[in-house]
């Protein structure tokens, strides 16, 4: 989950790396550090806490000018988040600097062997051992890339490594296994980073690195091999967004900007999804129509917010295709001996495309000969590359740790997948699909209306800033909305918040209701009359026990008015599409409440954007 940057070229290496780290701080903000190659040695600085602390350290103790640099912003795994454990880590001679993302699993054995050979470790991290291993390897060779390859062959686990050496000016070496690393190609300069946002200011030409590859960059050359030194194939791609997409643009928080971008991002995710005849077409559908017709079960696999998008997908896919659809937490999937075979379609959802739990679930599914389709927002990431087919969302970079626009784009992609399967299997006529697509294409305007009318939600957040517990209730597709609303509040405000299926209220959760506790209720559209009436009863039940009822309900539905302490009106939309409008007020509420409480909305405590370790 850490952020890594490497640079060689003609610019100030420190400026390039610090600029990149600021854009990657969403990946971890427990500490930060930089290392520069200068006159045959390494000059470095590192500091616990956010990058502002590192900025102050550099102002007090400036580093020399250098055009070769590496940097790191950390989400702690091995060792507490303090100055000593911050990256970069150096070898005993101080001439090799290493930054690392991931977990090295055979660290105990490696560390014991190094200490037995006389190496003294100054940190608690697994990363420092890599620097000492490189020190040993470089005793027998002057080839830094070969030394890195040799070390990588000794390591087990998931890792991205980026290395600089005082003995090798104008050279940075990187390596990856099960952890993200991309190359930026410039003119007279080249870049390494966990994410293209780190170098988007300088170049939009990128190179995908595959599994178990080592890359060496100099100002004029990029060389990629496997861990044994054999030339490796790479794939070039062009980043289709610019630096403005990764900047706040006048907003106080990235999250506020990303919430406001949702109408456009939903529209972009829908763009170009049908051909001249009106038939749906998806991005990289490398599965044939015959293969999709053979599917008799779908399993959606995801984590966190993406898991809730998968729950919405279940309702839509089963309704439109009549194929049984399960939704699994990726972290649990492969450990329960699931029933998966060649007639199973595994759909994975990941904003970053690097979520380790999801990636490992994909690999298990493919071992069982299942077909895998990924829904992802990040071109060039690992999960799409290891899938049989890809459906890209087009939400642009999401910098705030708590996902907002990513969630809505994923839900839209799930709808598209469901409709595509219904089309391939002949379960919906073209005019039926066109009608649903027309409904989907009205959603950006509906979301914009919710945004335009959101001031009462912000005021409500100010009123409820002293509350210690919040409950969220929903039925049908409103249930995943309730779960997502609760998660956003937990992530941003650090408060107790729970989402429940409203039908489960009397089976236990109602015990949590007491005088004044705020309860958000997502009311189904009137088209679901039977469920609608049951949710109406739930509102009355919690209100009778003293809850403050905050009711999200579509325009024109006044049946809830007598039982609602607060009303949040939603545009009238088809039932299955309601999550696209109902989720937005809950995002705004969580953001406003956290702001009122003085929390950092973009970088909540203990969290990082991309979970790249299991």
DSSP letter for each residue of 483-510: HHHHHHHHHHH--EEEEEEGGGGGGTGG
pLDDT at 284: 75
Instruction: Specify whether the CB–CB gap between 360 and 346 falls below 8 A.
Output: no
Quick check: helix, strand or coil at residue 347?
strand
For the stretch 271-311, pLDDT in tens is 888 876 778 888 678 899 999 999 999 999 999 999 999 99
Phi/psi of residue 254, nearest 5 degrees? -60, -35
CB atoms within 10 A of CB 583: 29
- pLDDT-derived band of residue 530, with 50, 70 and 90 as boundaries? confident
Buried b (16+ CB within 10 A) or exposed e, 117-146: eebeeebebbbbbbbbbbbbbbeeeebbbb
* Least confident interval from 152-166, 370-384, 509-523: 370-384
Q: Is 545 helix (H, G, I), strand (E, B) or coil?
A: coil
Rounded Cα–Cα distance for residues 145 and 96 (Å): 13
What is the mean pLDDT of the segment spanning 526-533?
78
Element (H, E) at 215: strand 213-217
pLDDT of 529 > 70? The answer is no
81 or 67, greater pLDDT: 67
- Return d(Cα 12, Cα 609) in angstroms, integer: 28
Rounded mean pLDDT, 175-193: 94
User: Is pLDDT above 80 for 247?
Assistant: no
Cα diameter, the chain: 81
Q: Mean pLDDT, to the nearest integer, of 80-105?
A: 93
CA dist 179 and 237 (Å) reads 19
Closest CA to 586 of 500, 477, 461, 465: 461
Which amino acids are annotated catalytic? Answer: 2, 609
| Residue 366 scores a pLDDT above 90 | yes
Location of structure tokens 């620097």: 131
CA 562, CA 266: separation in Å to the nearest integer? 34
Instruction: Give per-residue pLDDT as tens, 397-407.
Output: 888 999 999 99
Q: Give the residue among 86, 71, 64, 370 at the shortest CA–CA distance from 193.
A: 71
Residue 328, both tokens = 């699994």
Distance from chain centroid for Cα 284: 21
Q: Does 415 have pLDDT greater than 90?
A: yes
How far apart CA 239 and CA 394 sit, in angstroms, is 12
How much is the average pLDDT of 239-259?
A: 82
Token code pair at residue 167: 């003995």
Spell out the SS3 assignment of 65-112: CCCEEEEEEECCCCCCCCCCCCCCEECCCCCEEEEEEEEECCHHHHHH
Q: How far apart are CA 228 and CA 251, in angstroms?
A: 48
Specify burial of residue 571 (Cβ count, 10 A radius: 0-12, 13-18, 19+): buried
In Å, what is the CA distance from 65 to each residue of 12, 39, 159? 7, 10, 29
The domains found in the chain, sorted by start residue, are: 3-246 (3.60.20.10), 254-441 (3.40.50.10490), 455-596 (3.40.50.10490)
Residue 317's CB is within 10 A of a number of other CB atoms, namely 26
Four-point Cα dihedral 399, 401, 403, 405, nearest 10: -20
**What rounded mean pLDDT belongs to the chain?**
92
* Tokens 């209730």 found at: 473
CB 609: neighbour CB atoms within 10 A?
26
Could you give the CA distance from residue 269 to residue 271 in angstroms, rounded to a whole number?
6
């Amino acid at each position: 989950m850490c952020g890594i940057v490497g640079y060689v070229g003609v610019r100030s290496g420190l400026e390039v790396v610090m600029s990149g780290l600021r854009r990657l701080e969403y990946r971890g903000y427990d500490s930060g550090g930089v290392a520069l190659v200068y006159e045959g040695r390494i000059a470095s600085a590192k500091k616990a806490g956010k990058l502002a602390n590192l900025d102050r350290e550099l102002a007090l103790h400036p580093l020399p000018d250098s055009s070769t640099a590496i940097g790191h912003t950390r989400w702690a795994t091995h060792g507490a988040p303090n100055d000593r454990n911050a990256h970069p880590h150096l070898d005993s001679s101080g001439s090799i600097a290493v930054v690392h993302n991931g977990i090295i699993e055979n660290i105990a054995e490696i560390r014991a062997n190094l200490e037995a050979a006389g190496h003294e470790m100054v940190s608690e991290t697994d990363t420092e051992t890599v620097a000492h291993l490189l020190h040993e390897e470089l005793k027998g060779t002057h080839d830094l890339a070969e030394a890195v390859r040799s070390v990588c062959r000794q390591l087990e686990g998931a890792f991205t490594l980026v290395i600089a050496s005082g003995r090798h000016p104008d050279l940075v070496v990187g390596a990856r296994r099960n952890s993200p690393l991309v190359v930026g190609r410039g003119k007279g300069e080249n870049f390494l980073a966990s994410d293209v946002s780190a170098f988007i200011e300088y170049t939009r030409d990128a190179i995908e690195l595959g599994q178990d590859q080592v890359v060496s960059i100099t100002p004029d050359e990029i060389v990629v091999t496997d861990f044994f030194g054999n030339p490796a194939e790479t794939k070039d791609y062009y980043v289709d967004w610019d630096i403005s997409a990764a900047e706040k643009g006048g907003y106080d928080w990235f999250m506020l900007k990303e919430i406001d971008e949702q109408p456009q991002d939903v529209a972009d995710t829908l763009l170009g999804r049908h051909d001249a005849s009106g038939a749906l077409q998806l991005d990289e559908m490398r599965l044939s129509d015959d293969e999709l017709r053979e599917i008799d079960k779908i399993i959606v696999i995801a984590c966190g917010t993406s898991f809730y998008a998968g729950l919405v997908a279940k309702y839509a896919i089963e309704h439109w295709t009549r194929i049984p659809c399960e939704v699994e937490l990726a972290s649990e999937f492969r450990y329960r001996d699931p029933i998966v075979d060649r007639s199973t379609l595994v759909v994975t959802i990941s904003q970053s495309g690097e979520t380790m739990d999801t990636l490992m679930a994909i690999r298990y599914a493919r071992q069982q000969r299942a077909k895998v389709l990924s829904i992802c927002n990040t071109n060039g990431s690992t999960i799409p590359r290891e899938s049989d087919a890809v459906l890209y969302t087009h939400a642009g970079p999401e910098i705030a740790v708590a996902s907002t626009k990513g969630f809505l784009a994923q839900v839209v992609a799930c709808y598209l997948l469901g409709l595509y399967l219904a089309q391939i299997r002949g379960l919906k006529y073209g005019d039926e699909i066109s009608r649903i697509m027309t409904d989907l294409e009205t959603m950006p305007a509906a979301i914009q209306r919710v945004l335009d009318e959101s001031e009462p939600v912000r005021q409500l957040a100010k009123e409820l800033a002293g509350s210690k517990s919040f409950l969220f209730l929903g039925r049908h597709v409103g249930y995943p909305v309730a779960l997502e609303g609760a998660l956003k509040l937990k992530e941003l405000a650090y408060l107790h918040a729970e989402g429940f299926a409203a039908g489960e209220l009397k089976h236990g959760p109602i015990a949590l209701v007491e005088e004044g506790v705020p309860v958000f209720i997502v009311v189904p559209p009137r088209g679901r009359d039977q469920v609608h009436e049951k949710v109406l009863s739930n509102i009355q039940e919690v209100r009778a026990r003293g809850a403050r009822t905050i009711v999200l309900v579509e325009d024109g539905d006044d049946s809830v008015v007598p039982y609602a302490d607060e009303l949040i009106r939603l545009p009238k939309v088809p039932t299955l599409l309601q999550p696209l409008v109902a989720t937005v007020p809950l995002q705004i509420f969580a953001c406003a409440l956290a702001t009122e409480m003085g929390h950092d909305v973009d970088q909540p405590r203990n969290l990082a954007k991309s979970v790249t370790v299991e």
